[in-house]
Chain A
Amino acid sequence: MTWIADWAILPALLAGVTGTLLVVLDDRRAVLGILAGQYLCAAWLVGLALPLSIAAAKLVAGLMACGALALSVAALRWRSPEVQAGALPSGHAFRLVAAGMVATVAVGLGLGNWMSLPGITAPGILGSTLLMGLGLLQIGITEEPLRVGAGLLTLLSGFEIAYSSIEPSLAVVALLAAVHLGIALVVSYLLLVVRDERPIPEGGG
């Protein structure tokens, strides 16, 4: 199916948009919906290197991870945690600017094969770099479990796009799918273990 390769730039750019939105938004419904969309983009980009059936399996694993997180957040009635002002800025504007800067650097890097990976396509490297950069930013600026979880899953998705071009074995696909599900389950548990959360200081250690 050549259209997958022809239109591959679309999921690469959308991956950047979803990564940015995950950094900026607080609404938990929106975060989970965007994460599911991001898995679709990641599966498309993985499909450039692996058979479509395997890319679809990755998508299913990702959607299952989103489902597990959604169940926990639904048990908390979808309410977002109360955010307390910390030592570092963490408002929407700050996050948007930070995400914009990271995305700019990622696009700059991702226009070339900066990781020197054989067999990876240009949209693949762009999408991978955007997701890894924005995922790292996300886990660096928050300690709220759902957002950290979304950041880790974003980072992993970006890594998998690149890694699938160099290590296409089924065992690795299965192991990394297990990691996605595992992270989602652990984050779900961490969300539920403290139901009456104290405000989380943003940006503070």
Chain B
Amino acid sequence: MSAPLVLFLVTGIFAVGAALLRGRPRPSAILAASGAAMLGLFALTAKLDEPFVFLGLSLKFGSTWSLLGRAFTLDQGNRAAVGFLFLAGAFIFAGAWAARPERYLFSFGILALGVVAGSLLIRPFLFAAVFLELAAMGSALILVSPGYPARRGGLRLLTLYTLAMLAILLAGWLLQSVGVAGGAPGESLRATLLLALGFAILMAVPPFHHWLPAAAEGAHPYALSFVAVLLQSAGLFFLLRFLDSYQWLRDNPDLFAGIRLAGTAMVCFGGVWALAQKSFSRVVAYALVTDFGVSLLAVGTQRAEGYELALGLVGSHALGLAVCGLGGAMLRRSGGKDDVASLAGSGYRSPLAAGAALAGLLSLSGFPLAAGFPGRWALLAILSPLDRFAAAAVVLSCLAVSGAAARWLGTFIQPPASDEKIELTFGEGLFLGGGVAMCVLFGTFPQIFAVIFQVTRGLTNLVP
């Protein structure tokens, strides 16, 4: 049996299991988290193309599975990325039951993980664009639910990812068939522009970010956290694989200047808009835009350390977003809204939930001692000699989003309109406290993120 087929089959089995348990959040979360963790460990440790004995049975996992003339391959180049993806999913699923998300998060979530894994496994990798479109479909189903029926975010996500898929497929054809490496400058320009459009959408570069605030406003905060981590990781892996595969792209300084410009625009835009928002979820959405921008700036350095850093930032981003989503979901329990009036005094009604929401937001902002800080610090060290304006923008965006967090701290400690407390179970409190502690721990001991750098192992041209 081939390893990719095992990954897909087991993903399907866990998705069906989670769907059957949809009415019971805790078993459903345990099943999805353990399933994703198991798949992640399988991707990382399975012996490929070598026979081995397990429980007295002689087994062999092939590295390739062929379907309709295309191959899905799990090898040393992509197994770290696939493993990371499933383990990050397991981390988010594990905390999900405490956030009480909509019941289909686990089943659609694990399916979406499987589809994104498919995008990493397929050869030629250009067809990953279609898998990202399928992942966006799953994400739309996660974002919109009977309890959170605002459809605008999901529809916009679907529309934008469809456009991205078309642009990348066409660009891929130009790259493969016409051979722009030695081809006409017109073809190179066309391919570059199509790629720029496709990746601008995948990385939520303004104005293609507009699904995020709409989704943040209308979706369950934890569901948004899952979708944002999943799609951003997938987009970033895909971008790095493109750069790794095409030398003329890697050697194009104008392209990297463009990536830095887009990243700078994102951190400036996100920072300013985060300050101006009157609902907490929209602040998180714009903080996410700045965080995506920081990842792009790391890629735009055109250095191996920058690529590693971009992937390391995905880890801090997942942690900050999960903790923020968990806290935000609990704060919304009392009234369902998250504007200033609804959240005033939340610090008294549930100090732990308010603390988690702020700790997550500070982590996304890159505030010192929070999980997002070490990555930004390291980025500034390699970015400032290269592009002082972009480095200054990173610092300013950190200040702006931290300022927005301070504003919300002021809201949380206002006298509450009522004495009604937000009741938390012991387990929920444990998850919230653990999340805050992890934000500080990862900010204080950033070496933990170095494990994620293993994901770059397959990108031998980018990180020799």
Q: Which residues of A contact B (CB under 8 A)?
A: 139, 143, 145, 148, 152, 155-156, 159, 163, 166-167, 169-172, 174-176, 178-179, 182-183, 185-186, 189-190, 193-194, 205
Contact = CB atoms under 8 A, between A and B. Distances in A.
B108 to A, nearest CB: 10
B68 A186 contact: no
B152 interface: yes
Given A152-B162, A170-B68, A170-B69, A178 B134 contact: yes
A179 B133 contact: yes
Contacts of B145: 193
B137 A182 contact: yes
B141 A179 contact: no
A163 B169 contact: yes
B304 interface: no
Interface stretch (B153-161, B267-275, B392-400): B153-161
Contact of B158 (A169, A183, A205): A183
B140 A190 contact: yes
Interface in B129-154: 130, 133-134, 137, 140-141, 144-146, 149, 151-152, 154
Contacts of A186: 137, 140-141, 154, 158
Contact of B68 (A155, A163, A174, A193): A174
Given A193-B144, A194-B149, 19 more contacts: A152-B162, A155-B166, A156-B162, A159-B166, A163-B170, A169-B68, A169-B69, A170-B69, A175-B130, A178-B130, A178-B134, A179-B134, A182-B133, A183-B162, A185-B137, A186-B140, A189-B144, A190-B144, A193-B149
B173 A166 contact: yes
Contacts of B67: 171
B127 interface: yes
A169 B70 contact: yes
B259 interface: no
A190 B154 contact: yes
B229 interface: no
A37 B348 CA distance: 61
B165 interface: yes
Among all A-B residue pairs, the 5 with the closest Cβ atoms: A171-B70, A171-B68, A194-B149, A175-B130, A182-B137
A158 B213 CA distance: 30
Contacts of A148: 155, 158-159
Contacts of B173: 163, 166-167
A25 B149 CA distance: 26
A182 B133 CA distance: 9
Nearest to B147: A193
B211 to A, nearest CB: 12
A193 B69 contact: no
Interface in B72-105: none
A169 B169 CA distance: 13
A155 B162 contact: yes
A48 to B, nearest CB: 18
A152 B145 CA distance: 21
A171 B127 contact: yes
A118 to B, nearest CB: 8
Contacts of A176: 130
Given A139-B159, A169-B69, A183 B137 contact: yes
Contacts of A163: 169-170, 173
Contacts of B141: 186, 189
Contacts of B252: none
A193 B151 contact: yes
Contacts of A152: 158-159, 162
Contacts of B146: 193
A32 B130 CA distance: 25
Contacts of A159: 166, 169
B418 interface: no
A77 to B, nearest CB: 19
Contacts of A190: 140, 144, 151, 154-155
Contacts of B170: 163
A47 to B, nearest CB: 20
A179 B130 contact: yes
A171 B69 contact: yes
Contacts of B425: none
B58 interface: no
Nearest to B145: A193
B447 interface: no
Contacts of A182: 133-134, 137
B218 to A, nearest CB: 11
B168 to A, nearest CB: 12
Contacts of B130: 172, 175-176, 178-179
Contacts of A167: 169, 173
B209 to A, nearest CB: 13
A178 to B, nearest CB: 7
Contacts of A169: 68-70
Contacts of B165: 179
Contacts of A139: 159
Contacts of A193: 144-146, 149, 151
